């Protein structure tokens, strides 16, 4: 990869990271909220 860490490449990596971060964050929030409806 010749253009590794070029501004475009970094922007691409960052937006991919942000998407994944929101996904994980959403999963965490879901786990947290779902817990309250857990019946034992």
Partner 1 sequence: MTAIAHPSGHHEEHYPGGLLRWLTTTNHKDIGTMYMTFALVMFFVGGLMILAVRAELFQPGLQLMQPEFFNQLIGVHALVMIFAALMPAATGFANWMIPLMIGAPDMALPRLNNWGFWLLPPAAILLTLPFMLALFGIGDGAIATGWTFYAPLSVQGGMGIDFAILAVHILGISSIMGSINIIVTIFNMRAPGMTMMKLPLFAWGWLITAFLLIATLPVLAGAVTMLLTDRHFGTHFFNAAGGGDPILFQHLFWFFGHPEVYILLLPVWGLMPHVISAFSRKPTYGYTAQVYSFIAIGLLSVVVWAHHFFTAGMPVPALIYFMFSTMSISIPLAVLFFCWIATMWRGAMTFETPMLFAVGFIVLFGIAGLTGLVLADVAADAQYHHSYFVVAHFHYALFAGGIMGVMTGVYYWLPKWTGHMYSEKLGKLHFWLTVVAFNLTFIPQFFLGLAGMPRRIPDYALQFAEFNAISTVGAFILGLSQLLFAWNIWACVRGGPKAEARAWEGADGLEWELPSPPPHHSWETPPVIR
Binding site for partner 1 (CB under 8 A): 1, 4-5, 10, 13-14, 16-18, 20-21, 24-25, 27-29, 31-32, 35-36, 40
Q: How far apart are CA 37 and CA 31, in angstroms?
A: 10
Q: What minimum distance in Å lies between the beta carbon of 19 and partner 1?
A: 9
Q: What minimum distance in Å lies between the beta carbon of 4 and partner 1?
A: 5
Of 8 and 40, CB closest to partner 1: 40
**What angle (nearest 5°) sits at the alpha carbon of residue 17, between those of residues 15 and 22?**
95
**Phi and psi torsions of 17, nearest 5°:** -65, -45
């Amino acid at each position: 990869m010749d253009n590794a860490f070029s501004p475009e490449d970094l922007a691409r990596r960052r937006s991919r990271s942000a998407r994944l971060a929101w996904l994980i964050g959403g999963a965490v929030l879901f786990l947290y909220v779902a817990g309250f409806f857990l019946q034992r």
